[in-house]
């Protein structure tokens, strides 16, 4: 198999970089700024501690005051979705927990594991 002509490679590189959003275009500068607030691309998993504050209807989610999450966000209260109802069935407001969750591209946070401390 002969090598591909080298003259084509720079063009391919530009296409790849453009598809990754690495080539800036003035018209979409604001979009780039917004994305810069998201620390990682693609699903990312984090482990942290927190205090259970409240639950959503039918325990579809749990609001947890979490500690600083390195590389993700500072301490705050936010919602996390269990993967199954049994994951958070025995939790109550005020419980201290340690948990691992996955942050997905669509802004959801799914609990992978959670346990009282």
Q: Which of 44, 51, 65, 73 binds Cu ion (CB under 5 A)?
A: 73
- CB nearer to Cu ion: give 24 or 68: 68
65 binds Cu ion (CB under 5 A): no
* Residues in Cβ contact with 87 at an 8 Å cutoff, skipping those fewer than 6 apart: 111, 113, 114
CA-to-CA distance for 95 and 68, rounded, in angstroms?
18
Opening angle at CA 48, ends 44 and 51, nearest 5: 130
Which x/- pattern, by CB under 5 A, does the window 8-47 give for Cu ion?
----------------------------------------
Site for Cu ion, rule CB under 5 A = 73, 76, 78
């Amino acid at each position: 198999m002969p090598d591909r002509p080298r003259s084509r490679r720079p063009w391919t590189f530009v296409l790849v970089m453009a598809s990754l959003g690495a080539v800036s275009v003035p018209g979409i500068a604001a979009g780039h700024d917004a994305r810069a607030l998201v620390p990682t691309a693609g699903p990312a998993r984090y482990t942290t501690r927190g205090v259970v504050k409240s639950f959503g209807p039918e325990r579809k989610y749990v609001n947890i005051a979490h500690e600083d999450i390195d590389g993700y966000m500072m301490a705050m209260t936010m919602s996390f979705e269990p993967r199954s109802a049994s994951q958070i069935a025995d939790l109550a407001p005020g419980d201290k927990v340690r948990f691992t969750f996955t942050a997905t591209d669509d802004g959801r946070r799914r609990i992978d594991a959670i346990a009282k401390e």
